[in-house]
A = this chain, B = another copy of it.
Amino acid sequence: MKSITIKDIAKVANVSYATVSRALSGSNEIGEETRERVLKICQEMGYTANTVARSMVMKQTKLLGLIVANIDNPFMSEMAYHIEMRAREHGYNLMLCNSSHDLDLERNVFELLVSRQVDGIILVPSSSESYANLKPLISKVPTVFVSENLRDLPESYVSVDNYRGTHIGTEYLYSQGHRDILYFGLRKGSVTHQLRAEGYMDACRELGIEPHVFSSNYSLSSVQAGSQMAKQIFAASPFPYSAIFAATDSLALGVFAAADEAGIRIPEDVSLMGFDNILYADLPRIRLTTIEQPKKTMATAAVDILLEKITDETSGYSHRILTPTLVIRSSCRNILEKK
């Protein structure tokens, strides 16, 4: 499987291999007929450029690293899709690594990507701890965080306005007549989830209703965990809330499962709102009303910010906070109207 190189072409074309390089790179310091002749020979001989060699001398790989906790999480995979497409539009390819929600692994793969000379890294951290965890490494390569709000940390990130998301959602629930709303799934240590809870609480205050939040240290992105947690809240009978605002769609799915089990109907008995608008949310029989994170926009923004960082040597960082929107489906009921 010996592949043919620029030198082989040069020999056949009877030119120096620098000339072949010029022909290939679209340089203008080469005669038109020479270029065409060389290019034709490349074609005929089935020449494929060796990007690795080019990377060596150019000192850039046109490679981006993408670190996610789990690519099989619907939120992640949707982000990954858009990120990959956008990156490729700009001539970049993606190296994918799963960190499996493990900080040590996250650090490992980050270092790995650095040693592979990626031009930049996009990181979808599962918690706010990632920043501290990776801090010493971040200086080695342009990095942008996605999805997790890092508040005012000096590193680039793009996220949604989490505070506003739950604020909007709470207002909607209120407009549907709900006065007893449970916020389900606050996890300490994640500023993203801190902000979501705050948005809910502030909205409650403004609306003159009492906030109730159910905290947890479990994963907030697993429906299993959600259903475990939801079992606890449904143990109280009668269930004292008319609506549940889940911190994530996955959690909401878990609530669905636990509600079915407990014989509580959604939305007839209690309304359910999610956050993220993952692909699952739109499934038949689920049809979850939720807060949409503009995933494609976030993905695009992340790539663009990263490429800008790569191009401009000027250090600095940018925070891009996108606006979430309410997606109304069928998991919330207006309790002002008659049943």
Chain A interface residues (CB < 8 Å from chain B) = 1, 3, 48-53, 55-56, 61, 63, 66, 70-74, 76-78, 80-81, 84-85, 88, 93-98, 100, 109, 111-112, 114-117, 140, 223, 227, 253, 256-257, 260, 279-280, 283-286
The number of times this chain is found in the oligomer is 2
Point out the residues of chain B lying under 8 angstroms from A51, CB to CB.
115-117
Q: A71-B77, A95-B95, A284-B286 are in contact. List 10 more A-B contacts (CB 8 A).
A: A49-B115, A52-B52, A53-B56, A72-B80, A74-B77, A76-B77, A93-B112, A94-B97, A280-B283, A283-B283
From A52, A114, A115, name the one whose CB has the most chain B CB atoms within 10 angstroms: A52
Interchain CB contact under 8 A, B279 and A72: yes
Task: Take A253-B284, A285-B256 as given contacts and tell me if A61 and B70 are in contact as well, using a CB distance cutoff of 8 Å.
Answer: no
Point out the residues of chain B lying under 8 angstroms from A76, CB to CB.
77
- 28 A/B residue pairs, CB under 8 Å, sorted by A: A1-B140, A3-B140, A48-B115, A49-B115, A50-B115, A51-B115, A51-B117, A52-B52, A52-B55, A66-B96, A70-B81, A71-B77, A71-B81, A72-B81, A72-B279, A76-B77, A80-B96, A84-B98, A93-B112, A223-B283, A227-B284, A253-B283, A253-B284, A256-B284, A257-B284, A284-B286, A285-B286, A286-B286
Point out the residues of chain B lying under 8 angstroms from A111, CB to CB.
48
Q: Which of B1, B73, B94, B280 contacts A96 (CB 8 A)?
A: B94
The complex places the Cα of A51 from the Cα of B286 at a distance, in Å, of 47
The complex places the Cα of A124 from the Cα of B49 at a distance, in Å, of 25
The complex places the Cα of A182 from the Cα of B55 at a distance, in Å, of 55
Point out the residues of chain B lying under 8 angstroms from A115, CB to CB.
48-51
The complex places the Cα of A234 from the Cα of B77 at a distance, in Å, of 33
The complex places the Cα of A315 from the Cα of B48 at a distance, in Å, of 22
Point out the residues of chain B lying under 8 angstroms from A84, CB to CB.
71, 96-98
The complex places the Cα of A285 from the Cα of B1 at a distance, in Å, of 53
Q: Tell me the minimal C-beta distance from A232 to chain B in angstroms.
A: 17
